[in-house]
Amino acid sequence: MAAALVLSLVSLAGAAPAAAPTSFTVPARSTTTAFLSADRLFVVEPADVPAGRGGQLTAYAVPAAGDGPLAPLWRTPLPAAGTEGAVFVHRDVVLVTAGSLDAPRRAFAFDLGTGRLRWERPGHLVPAGDALLALETGGAEAGRVSSVDPATGRVGWSVATPVEATTYRVRPDGVDRIVASPSSGQVEVWDARTGARLRSADIRPGELPVYQRSQSVDELLLVVRDTAALVTAYGLDELDRRWEIRLGLVAYFAACGPLLCAYGQTGGMWALDRATGDVRWRATRWHETLVEREGRMLVRGPGSGAQDSFAVLDTATGRAVADLGTWEVSGRYPAEDRPIGVRPPTATGCSSPNWTSPTAGPVSSTCWPGSPATARPTRDCCCVAAVAAASGSGG
């Protein structure tokens, strides 16, 4: 079924009045996923095997102002295995990971200017400064992390990783640490830019091996022992123990500005003091923070059907300052980019509620019908908003 994807670039919060949104339409199907990177919009259409139709990646240039349909810069076929994770740009290549539940993942690099396939290799790609890291998991066997030249796909160095508990610290320019923390307690930390091993230490000397999960967030290594509902924080540089708390069933952690957020396996979240582990506040409705900027957090919680509910919270207190309604996030996105929300038109059209709050600043978004000539809602259109959690200007 043909459809139209409508892109609206707005600011979610800021001190200045909101600028008029800029909107564009591109053809899309109901299974289409969109990714925004700087002034480029990438639209992924997965393969439809029963219909005999292959997948496709289309690139569009997004002007700074204007409206109406966009003409594609280029189109290129995608592997029949489908795609997963984000489409992202690194230097002058567009990276896509393909794979399925029963097949190994494989990465593809396309030329940013032309869409020509430059190279492909096994694994899932993530940025790491000027280079890329290819992450290969071996199932029951040890995995491998390799540094890859974005221009050529050539490998610079490789590090074997254990079967369990290998995590990565992510900075604004990509992964900078590789951390292996198996149940034995012997933790190893590598520099993700050079492949050098930086630190090795037993964080539980004299104790028997026990199942644990770990995650690196900024300066901390967080180790979770689910059987004891125990979270222990270590300094990532020296692997020195900082604090330990009991916190229930934690799924994962994320940086929330000056705080550390922990998210429950059954929903809800805690905001922790990074230095002590003390709980600053707790919210039972939300289960993910998409963006945190300038003391405001864009959070996601349960919604209806495929759509989730979104709100803006005050980072220091957890107080809700704006309710953004329900949206479906299209694909994944880099941490510093604006999430793209998608939802179908309502009986009154594609216009969204006016997202405003006297304390959050302007948080308005407008979406337009996919059929501009008739200016009425149809089944063949989507409402799309690309938003930022705290920004001083419109996108």
- Residue 376, pLDDT > 50, answer no
Gap between the Cα atoms of 289 and 260, Å rounded? 11
Is the CB of residue 365 less than 8 Å from the CB of residue 10?
yes
Banded pLDDT at 1 (limits 50, 70, 90): very low
16-43 per-position pLDDT tens digit = 444 555 667 788 777 778 888 888 889 8
Global pTM value: 0.76
Q: Is 346 exposed, middle or buried (CB count within 10 Å of its CB: 0-12, 13-18, 19+)?
A: exposed
CA-to-CA separations, 94 to 110, 274, 293, 358, in angstroms, rounded: 5, 36, 27, 40
Q: For 187-200, what is each residue's pLDDT tens digit? A: 999 999 999 999 99
Angle at 310 between CA 43 and CA 260, to 5 degrees: 100
pLDDT confidence tier of residue 100, bands split at 50, 70 and 90: low
* DSSP label at residue 15: S
Instruction: Give the model confidence (pLDDT) of 116-134 as tens digits.
Output: 999 999 988 999 999 999 9
> Two tokens at 307?
């759509």
The SS3 call for residue 184 is: coil
Give the pLDDT band of residue 222 (cuts 50, 70, 90): very high
Sheet of strand 340-343: strand arrangement: 22-28, 3-9, 381-386, 340-343, 320-329, 307-314, 296-304, 288-293
Q: What is the pLDDT of residues 307-343, one digit of tens each?
A: 889 899 999 999 999 888 887 776 544 444 566 666 6
